Structure 1
Amino acid sequence: MRRLLCATALSGALFVLGACSADKAAETGAGATPATSAPAPGTSGVPTPPGSSPAGGDVALKGNTKAICAQAARTGAEAAQKFAQDLKLLIEAETAQDPSAVAKAKAKTDRDVQNYSSALGDMAKLASEPELKMALTAMGKQVSTLQGDVRKLDAQKLAGLQETLATACGTA
């Protein structure tokens, strides 16, 4: 029961973090186009315009603080939802004492954590403003310390990093 309460509190904190960053981007008009899926490792997660390559999209985004901030907000909101779902899936698998389901849940969580960390790192590489680059890099490192286990997430520390990102984006 205690584990379920902790999971509920953590997933709520994650959802609020993602929702707050998405709301701030929407207030500035930067978050008008929602992303449809999490970015693959090694990509910024920024939608690529038709007829162009992903690398070309990244080049066009390079130094575009407004677009990078909007993408960070969308990616953060999506990651919060996925992390909450992953946590629920993992708890259900462990409660059912199904080793196969636990392994699948852990693999999915690991993939989702890695995707989010990679997306943050890729966005940091595209950022030209030092504050934004630093905030995205710090968030990526914090997420990567989870090593695929969303139960290790320090919601308070991530909230502080999210605030730093909001400040760097001018949405705080």
Structure 2
Amino acid sequence: MRRLLSVTAVSGALLLLGTGCSSGKSAENATAAPVPAVSGPAASGPAAGASAGAALPGEADAALSGNSEAICQQAAKTGGDAAKNFAQDLTLLIEAESSQDKDSVIKAKQKTARDVENYSFALKDMSKLAADPKLKAALADMGSQVTALKGDVRKVDSEQLTKLQKTLDKACGNG
């Protein structure tokens, strides 16, 4: 029962992470921003942020570079996607550990680590593209905080996420 409550609390906090910084635009507009270029360690695997019809990496960088509104929209979409992934990862970890199947636990931990790494990389990448110093700092700080999780979504602190989201909202002109 405690695990279920933990999953519920963390899932709720993670979903809050993806709801801010949308500049008051509809969800359609928030998802229309190009996907930031993903290279390096986050580029491996299907969770690297690529989607059907997405802009080429160089085009995505050009579309986001210096465009605070587009970066805020992309950060909101990326945060929402990460929140869903983290909630699923937490459930996957709990189920794998409950089954006592060592192979399942290893695979669940690898997936979680990859998802955390991808989200951190995306935040840091968007930070590099931001021209606004507050937005740049907010995204870089969020990327560092996510990196500090070291792949373990159970380390997510809902108060910390709320504070980071408020910082990002303020940087995006929403708070």
Normalization by structure 2: what TM-score?
Answer: 0.84
Q: 1:28 maps to what in 2?
A: 25
Q: Deviations over 1:78-124 (max 9, x none)?
A: 00000000000000000111111100100000000000000000000
| Aligned-pair identity (%) | 52
What RMSD, in angstroms, separates the aligned Cα atoms of the two structures? 2.7
* Residue pair 1:49, 1:57 contacting (<8 A) in 2 also: no
Equivalent residue number for residue 136 of structure 2: 133
**Superposed CA offset, 1:133-163 (max 9, x none):** 0000000000011111000011211211111
Matched with 1:16 is 16
The structure 1 segments of at least 4 consecutive aligned residues displaced by more than 4 Å after TM superposition are 44-50
Question: 2:167 aligns to what SS in structure 1?
Answer: helix
**Where does the alignment leave 5 or more consecutive residues of structure 1 unmatched?**
none
Is 1:54 aligned to residue 53 of structure 2? no
**What whole-Å deviation, never above 9, does each CA across 1:31-73 have from its counterpart, x for those lacking one?**
152789xx6626x9587987x7412320332100010000000
What TM-score do the two structures reach when normalised by structure 1? 0.85
SS of 1:170's partner is coil
- 1:163–1:46 Cα change, 3 Å: farther
User: Which aligned pairs between 1:57-96 and structure 2 lie closer than 5 A?
Assistant: 57-96=60-99
Task: Quickly say closer, same or farther: Cα 1:35–1:14, change in 2 above 3 A.
Answer: farther
Alpha-carbon contact 1:26-1:32 (below 8 Å) kept = no
Cα pair 1:28 1:171 within 8 Å, conserved: no
Runs (5+) with no aligned partner, structure 2: none
